[in-house]
Structure 1
């Protein structure tokens, strides 16, 4: 029940601060962009846009929301309630994953129609969004200014764009199999061609493992750099 309350609080907070309105404009811009792409390239463009969308949404918005909440003094009173840190983090990840999923379908349907494997496609979007959201929270917790957060979040995310080099046929390496975004591309491309079961299993496994790892890191970062500072401020 606490987790659901935290989720609805996050959705209302994001709506009140105009995140949904901005994202509607972004989706409309993506939709217009797709209309000008030649038909033979639309599938590849749809995968690329769908890949970048949950990544950018989670990476930029989650840390930005955390900084905004910190400026508004929300974190101290929030954890005076029975809400737990895990519930707070999962509510953030879930609220942005829902927004990412809606945006991904809004981009994909006009470009390429109904995916052949809608469940794999949707799970790819959700797991990528949650990974990037938790990564963003971990980075945002460690920095006090928007400029520092924006710079460091890009540096943290840089290794995870490497699978795009394989996607464009520029460079391939077995090391990409260890990256969560390789799993993302596999699941998004399953919208057109369902991969072999072993490759599909690998995509889910690598995304789930990275989500678990980044959750632990984001939780530690939040406890150390946000909650401990809030407690120190209250003691002064």
Structure 2
């Protein structure tokens, strides 16, 4: 356990040195600026969209950046011969980045929705969306040696991952969307602000959790087989 927490602290320091927290500050400034132009509009129906869109950076792209950074610095090669296990590597990255994502998105939510939301559901929705993006980003980045090679395919991947979000914004609904894992997470996050009926709660949480469990297994496999070599 001490090894894990030491690794978490090391990851936080690495993120600080490489400007991850600066990116968070710039992002928050953008959201504050946007809020000044939003007037008194009721944006609760869009809060789930805001969270899913914003957490993309601090999960999917940040984990990809960290892996490439550690690969270039030779850190991954060194870690492969240390007692640090693949699951500890995953946990460390997840914990350190979730702290960043949680603080950033909580500020945005309070800024736009005040304190009138279900805190527990929001935290769970944040965690589920974060983990889905994190594991997808980690699985995908192992196929690329540079950020330039990763960027264009990542845009296509994000387009596919966020299909339900786009459909929700344009008010298009179809039963096929409910086969998409992001639809389940969107239902959970929306429920924190506008509520949901019981069947949507069951669907949202069960499908999201099953998806994250499946992705976590795949992420562990690629960490063990492709990063720890």
Taking structure 2 as the reference length, the TM-score comes to 0.91
Shift in alpha-carbon separation, 1:4–1:175, aligned structure 2, 3 A: farther
Paired residues, what number?
A: 228
- Give distance in 2, aligned partners of 1:122 and 1:225: 31
- Give distance in 2, aligned partners of 1:126 and 1:171: 26
- Cα offset for 1:72? 0.3
- Give distance in 2, aligned partners of 1:45 and 1:5: 38
Within a 5 Å distance, the mapping from 1:132-147 to structure 2 comes to: 132-147=133-148
Three-state SS of the structure 2 residue aligned to 1:58 is helix
- Give distance in 1, aligned partners of 2:140 and 2:37: 36
- Give distance in 1, aligned partners of 2:116 and 2:29: 20
2:200 is equivalent to residue 199 of structure 1: yes
Cross-structure match for 2:14: 13
- Cα offset for 1:41? 4.4
- Give distance in 1, aligned partners of 2:145 and 2:119: 40
Q: Deviations over 1:193-236 (max 9, x none)?
A: 221233112212222111122222222223333333xxxxxxxx
Shift in alpha-carbon separation, 1:165–1:22, aligned structure 2, 3 A: closer
Cross-structure match for 1:149: 150
Three-state SS of the structure 1 residue aligned to 2:193 is coil
- Give distance in 2, aligned partners of 1:28 and 1:210: 33
2:45–2:194 contact (8 Å) kept in structure 1 = no
Q: Please, what is the CA RMSD of the aligned residues?
A: 1.8
Cross-structure match for 2:92: 91
2:67–2:141 contact (8 Å) kept in structure 1 = yes
- Give distance in 2, aligned partners of 1:56 and 1:22: 9
The range that moved more, 210-219 or 132-141, is: 210-219
2:112 is equivalent to residue 111 of structure 1: yes
- Cα offset for 1:160? 1.7
Within a 5 Å distance, the mapping from 1:182-193 to structure 2 comes to: 182-193=183-194
Unpaired segments of 5 or more residues in structure 2?
Answer: none
The range that moved more, 99-108 or 33-42, is: 33-42
Taking structure 1 as the reference length, the TM-score comes to 0.88
Unpaired segments of 5 or more residues in structure 1?
Answer: 229-236
Structure with greater contact order relative to length (CA < 8 Å, sep ≥ 6): 2
- Cα offset for 1:65? 0.8
Q: Deviations over 1:119-144 (max 9, x none)?
A: 10111111111111111111111110
